[in-house]
């Protein structure tokens, strides 16, 4: 009977060990899942990297557009100044000829 009692106690110890081992496994799985999910959501920040790439492309596009508009403005200003010079020289020549022919 003494052996039967010892066997029963050994089974109880095994059950306790398996219970605690099960809890440890469950705890490790939960912690591992939390770390994995956290890393996927915020670790590499892939959605933020995609957003940064999109914003960078938009900024570069706007910079290129600004440079194009600056070039167009410079050309328009140059053409305007050329037209004003032509107009002033034509007006000066016409004004000088009429002034000389009037006396």
* Residue spans of the chain under pLDDT 50: 1-2, 100-101, 103
DSSP state for residue 42 in the 8-state scheme: I
pLDDT at position 76: 97
Comparing C-alpha atoms, which of 64, 40, 16 is closest to residue 24? 16
Q: How many CA atoms lie within 13 A of 31 on its CB side?
A: 6
User: Tokens for 75?
Assistant: 């050309």
Cα–Cα distance for residue pair 37/24, rounded to 1 Å? 20
**3-state SS class at 26:** helix
pTM of the model: 0.46
């Amino acid at each position: 009977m003494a052996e039967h009692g010892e066997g029963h106690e050994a089974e109880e110890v095994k059950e306790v060990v398996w219970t605690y081992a099960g809890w440890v496994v469950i705890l490790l799985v939960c912690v591992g899942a939390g770390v994995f999910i956290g890393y996927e959501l915020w670790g590499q920040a892939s959605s933020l990297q995609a957003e940064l790439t999109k914003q960078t492309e938009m900024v570069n596009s706007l910079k290129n557009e600004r440079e194009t508009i600056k070039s167009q403005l410079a050309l328009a200003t140059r053409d305007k100044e050329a037209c004003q010079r032509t107009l002033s020289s034509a007006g000066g020549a016409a004004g000088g000829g009429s002034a000389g022919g009037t006396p």
